[in-house]
Amino acid sequence: AQSVSQHNHHVILSEAASLELGCNYSYGGTVNLFWYVQYPGQHLQLLLKYFSGDPLVKGIKGFEAEFIKSKFSFNLRKPSVQWSDTAEYFCAVTPNSGYSTLTFGKGTMLLVSP
Amino acid sequence: DVKVTQSSRYLVKRTGEKVFLECVQDMDHENMFWYRQDPGLGLRLIYFSYDVKMKEKGDIPEGYSVSREKKERFSLILESASTNQTSMYLCASSQGQGGTEAFFGQGTRLTVV
Protein backbone atom coordinates (compact mmCIF):
# COMPACT_ATOMS: atom_id res chain seq x y z
CA ALA A 1 0.00 0.00 0.00
CA GLN A 2 1.08 3.53 -0.66
CA SER A 3 1.65 6.27 1.93
CA VAL A 4 2.28 10.01 1.82
CA SER A 5 4.21 12.24 4.19
CA GLN A 6 3.92 16.01 4.24
CA HIS A 7 6.76 17.72 6.04
CA ASN A 8 4.99 20.66 7.63
CA HIS A 9 1.62 20.82 9.33
CA HIS A 10 1.54 24.61 9.55
CA VAL A 11 3.38 27.25 7.55
CA ILE A 12 3.13 31.00 8.08
CA LEU A 13 4.46 33.37 5.44
CA SER A 14 4.25 37.02 4.58
CA GLU A 15 2.91 38.10 1.23
CA ALA A 16 5.50 37.93 -1.57
CA ALA A 17 7.53 35.27 0.23
CA SER A 18 8.42 32.11 -1.64
CA LEU A 19 6.73 28.84 -0.78
CA GLU A 20 7.88 25.26 -0.83
CA LEU A 21 5.80 22.49 0.71
CA GLY A 22 7.44 19.10 1.00
CA CYS A 23 5.79 15.81 0.06
CA ASN A 24 7.31 12.34 0.03
CA TYR A 25 5.55 9.14 -0.87
CA SER A 26 6.16 5.46 -0.41
CA TYR A 27 5.15 2.93 -3.05
CA GLY A 28 6.95 0.18 -4.93
CA GLY A 29 5.54 0.89 -8.38
CA THR A 30 4.69 3.73 -10.73
CA VAL A 31 2.44 6.42 -9.36
CA ASN A 32 0.40 9.44 -10.29
CA LEU A 33 0.83 12.43 -8.01
CA PHE A 34 -1.47 15.28 -7.08
CA TRP A 35 -1.67 18.42 -5.05
CA TYR A 36 -5.12 19.46 -3.89
CA VAL A 37 -6.07 22.71 -2.17
CA GLN A 38 -8.93 23.50 0.18
CA TYR A 39 -9.68 27.19 0.62
CA PRO A 40 -11.61 28.16 3.77
CA GLY A 41 -15.21 27.00 3.46
CA GLN A 42 -14.72 25.53 0.01
CA HIS A 43 -14.48 22.06 -1.42
CA LEU A 44 -11.24 20.28 -2.18
CA GLN A 45 -9.99 21.14 -5.67
CA LEU A 46 -7.11 20.04 -7.85
CA LEU A 47 -4.08 22.32 -7.96
CA LEU A 48 -1.89 20.23 -10.26
CA LYS A 49 -1.09 16.66 -11.20
CA TYR A 50 1.75 14.54 -12.55
CA PHE A 51 1.14 11.44 -14.61
CA SER A 52 4.26 11.16 -16.81
CA GLY A 53 6.65 13.22 -18.94
CA ASP A 54 8.22 16.49 -17.81
CA PRO A 55 8.77 16.15 -14.05
CA LEU A 56 8.14 19.86 -13.57
CA VAL A 57 4.43 20.47 -13.73
CA LYS A 58 2.58 23.74 -13.62
CA GLY A 59 -0.81 24.19 -12.05
CA ILE A 60 -3.33 26.88 -11.43
CA LYS A 61 -2.64 30.21 -9.70
CA GLY A 62 1.11 30.12 -10.35
CA PHE A 63 1.83 26.90 -8.47
CA GLU A 64 4.27 24.29 -9.73
CA ALA A 65 5.63 21.00 -8.46
CA GLU A 66 8.64 18.90 -9.28
CA PHE A 67 8.64 15.11 -9.27
CA ILE A 68 12.00 13.70 -8.24
CA LYS A 69 11.71 9.96 -8.70
CA SER A 70 14.97 9.10 -6.93
CA LYS A 71 13.81 10.93 -3.82
CA PHE A 72 10.16 9.83 -4.02
CA SER A 73 9.29 13.49 -3.68
CA PHE A 74 6.75 15.85 -5.20
CA ASN A 75 7.29 19.26 -3.63
CA LEU A 76 4.96 22.16 -4.27
CA ARG A 77 6.38 25.62 -4.98
CA LYS A 78 5.26 29.16 -5.63
CA PRO A 79 7.70 32.04 -6.09
CA SER A 80 5.55 34.71 -4.45
CA VAL A 81 2.52 33.92 -2.30
CA GLN A 82 -0.54 36.07 -1.91
CA TRP A 83 -2.97 36.47 0.97
CA SER A 84 -5.53 34.57 -1.13
CA ASP A 85 -3.27 31.47 -1.05
CA THR A 86 -4.23 30.94 2.59
CA ALA A 87 -5.60 27.40 2.52
CA GLU A 88 -4.88 23.80 3.40
CA TYR A 89 -2.78 21.88 0.89
CA PHE A 90 -2.86 18.12 0.45
CA CYS A 91 -0.44 15.92 -1.43
CA ALA A 92 -1.91 12.67 -2.79
CA VAL A 93 -0.64 9.59 -4.61
CA THR A 94 -2.24 6.73 -6.48
CA PRO A 95 -0.86 3.77 -8.43
CA ASN A 96 -1.15 4.52 -12.13
CA SER A 97 -2.68 1.23 -13.18
CA GLY A 98 -5.79 -0.72 -12.38
CA TYR A 99 -8.52 0.38 -10.07
CA SER A 100 -6.81 2.56 -7.54
CA THR A 101 -7.57 4.98 -4.75
CA LEU A 102 -6.00 8.27 -3.76
CA THR A 103 -3.94 8.24 -0.58
CA PHE A 104 -3.55 11.65 1.01
CA GLY A 105 -1.00 13.22 3.27
CA LYS A 106 -2.12 14.86 6.50
CA GLY A 107 -2.16 18.29 4.95
CA THR A 108 -0.31 21.57 5.41
CA MET A 109 -2.16 24.64 6.59
CA LEU A 110 -0.69 27.73 4.94
CA LEU A 111 -1.39 31.12 6.45
CA VAL A 112 -0.28 34.14 4.43
CA SER A 113 -0.26 37.42 6.29
CA PRO A 114 -0.83 40.62 4.30
CA ASP B 1 -17.73 20.90 -15.06
CA VAL B 2 -17.93 17.81 -12.95
CA LYS B 3 -20.32 18.21 -10.12
CA VAL B 4 -20.36 16.10 -7.00
CA THR B 5 -23.23 17.01 -4.73
CA GLN B 6 -23.64 15.95 -1.14
CA SER B 7 -27.14 16.11 0.24
CA SER B 8 -26.36 18.03 3.42
CA ARG B 9 -23.75 20.61 4.35
CA TYR B 10 -24.32 20.29 8.09
CA LEU B 11 -25.95 17.50 10.06
CA VAL B 12 -26.51 16.96 13.79
CA LYS B 13 -27.52 13.50 14.96
CA ARG B 14 -27.91 11.74 18.27
CA THR B 15 -25.79 8.85 19.48
CA GLY B 16 -27.25 5.54 18.30
CA GLU B 17 -29.15 6.98 15.34
CA LYS B 18 -28.79 5.49 11.89
CA VAL B 19 -27.40 8.17 9.59
CA PHE B 20 -27.46 8.35 5.81
CA LEU B 21 -25.12 10.61 3.85
CA GLU B 22 -25.98 10.90 0.19
CA CYS B 23 -23.75 11.78 -2.74
CA VAL B 24 -24.60 12.25 -6.40
CA GLN B 25 -22.25 12.88 -9.34
CA ASP B 26 -23.33 14.06 -12.76
CA MET B 27 -20.42 13.00 -15.00
CA ASP B 28 -21.12 9.30 -15.40
CA HIS B 29 -17.97 8.42 -13.42
CA GLU B 30 -17.40 4.78 -12.65
CA ASN B 31 -15.62 5.28 -9.34
CA MET B 32 -16.96 6.83 -6.18
CA PHE B 33 -15.37 7.30 -2.78
CA TRP B 34 -16.15 8.32 0.78
CA TYR B 35 -13.42 9.98 2.81
CA ARG B 36 -13.38 11.30 6.31
CA GLN B 37 -11.41 14.50 7.04
CA ASP B 38 -10.16 15.29 10.54
CA PRO B 39 -7.71 18.02 11.64
CA GLY B 40 -4.16 16.76 11.64
CA LEU B 41 -5.14 13.43 10.08
CA GLY B 42 -5.84 14.50 6.51
CA LEU B 43 -8.29 12.48 4.44
CA ARG B 44 -8.84 8.84 5.23
CA LEU B 45 -10.67 6.48 2.91
CA ILE B 46 -13.75 4.80 4.36
CA TYR B 47 -15.22 2.91 1.38
CA PHE B 48 -15.09 3.04 -2.38
CA SER B 49 -16.95 1.60 -5.32
CA TYR B 50 -15.87 0.85 -8.89
CA ASP B 51 -19.25 -0.13 -10.19
CA VAL B 52 -22.92 -0.32 -9.34
CA LYS B 53 -23.63 -2.68 -6.44
CA MET B 54 -19.92 -3.10 -5.88
CA LYS B 55 -18.05 -1.86 -2.79
CA GLU B 56 -14.63 -2.17 -1.26
CA LYS B 57 -13.40 -1.33 2.22
CA GLY B 58 -10.96 1.49 2.62
CA ASP B 59 -8.65 2.19 5.53
CA ILE B 60 -11.27 2.91 8.21
CA PRO B 61 -14.52 1.05 7.38
CA GLU B 62 -15.50 0.11 10.93
CA GLY B 63 -18.87 1.51 11.91
CA TYR B 64 -19.80 2.39 8.33
CA SER B 65 -21.46 0.74 5.37
CA VAL B 66 -22.23 1.96 1.85
CA SER B 67 -24.76 1.46 -0.89
CA ARG B 68 -24.49 1.99 -4.62
CA GLU B 69 -27.70 1.05 -6.38
CA LYS B 70 -27.27 3.51 -9.24
CA LYS B 71 -24.10 4.63 -10.99
CA GLU B 72 -24.49 8.27 -10.05
CA ARG B 73 -25.33 7.79 -6.37
CA PHE B 74 -23.18 6.55 -3.49
CA SER B 75 -24.53 6.52 0.05
CA LEU B 76 -22.61 6.29 3.29
CA ILE B 77 -24.43 4.76 6.24
CA LEU B 78 -23.54 5.06 9.88
CA GLU B 79 -25.35 2.08 11.37
CA SER B 80 -25.34 3.45 14.93
CA ALA B 81 -23.77 6.88 15.17
CA SER B 82 -21.20 7.50 17.88
CA THR B 83 -19.51 10.67 19.05
CA ASN B 84 -16.18 9.57 17.56
CA GLN B 85 -17.81 9.71 14.13
CA THR B 86 -18.17 13.48 14.43
CA SER B 87 -16.22 14.64 11.41
CA MET B 88 -16.24 16.14 7.93
CA TYR B 89 -17.27 13.58 5.31
CA LEU B 90 -16.17 14.04 1.70
CA CYS B 91 -17.54 12.24 -1.31
CA ALA B 92 -15.52 12.01 -4.51
CA SER B 93 -15.77 10.50 -7.97
CA SER B 94 -13.33 9.63 -10.74
CA GLN B 95 -13.31 8.04 -14.16
CA GLY B 96 -11.94 4.66 -15.16
CA GLN B 97 -8.68 3.03 -14.22
CA GLY B 98 -5.09 4.16 -14.04
CA GLY B 99 -5.12 6.61 -11.17
CA THR B 100 -7.15 9.48 -12.56
CA GLU B 101 -7.91 12.59 -10.56
CA ALA B 102 -10.84 12.67 -8.19
CA PHE B 103 -13.49 15.37 -7.99
CA PHE B 104 -14.86 16.23 -4.58
CA GLY B 105 -18.15 17.36 -3.14
CA GLN B 106 -18.42 20.26 -0.70
CA GLY B 107 -18.47 17.98 2.32
CA THR B 108 -20.93 17.16 5.08
CA ARG B 109 -20.00 18.24 8.57
CA LEU B 110 -21.59 15.69 10.86
CA THR B 111 -21.87 16.26 14.58
CA VAL B 112 -22.99 13.36 16.77
CA VAL B 113 -24.23 14.43 20.19
The 3-state DSSP composition of chain B as helix, strand, coil percent (nearest 5) reads 5, 55, 45
Does the structure show a pLDDT above 70 at B2? no
Q: Which residue has the higher pLDDT, B93 or B96?
A: B93
Q: Could you read off the pLDDT of B14-72 as tens digits, one per residue?
A: 999 999 999 999 999 999 999 999 998 999 999 999 999 899 999 999 999 999 999 99
B42 with A43: Cβ contact below 8 A: no
Does the structure show a pLDDT above 90 at B1? no
Strand partners, A37: A45, A89
On whether the CB atoms of residues B5 and B105 are closer than 8 A, the answer is yes
| Contact residues, chain B, for A105 at CB < 8 Å | 42
Q: Which of B48, B100, B106 to mutate to test the interface with A (most CBs of A within 10 A)?
A: B100
Nearest residue, CB atoms, A90 vs list B43, B97, B106: B43
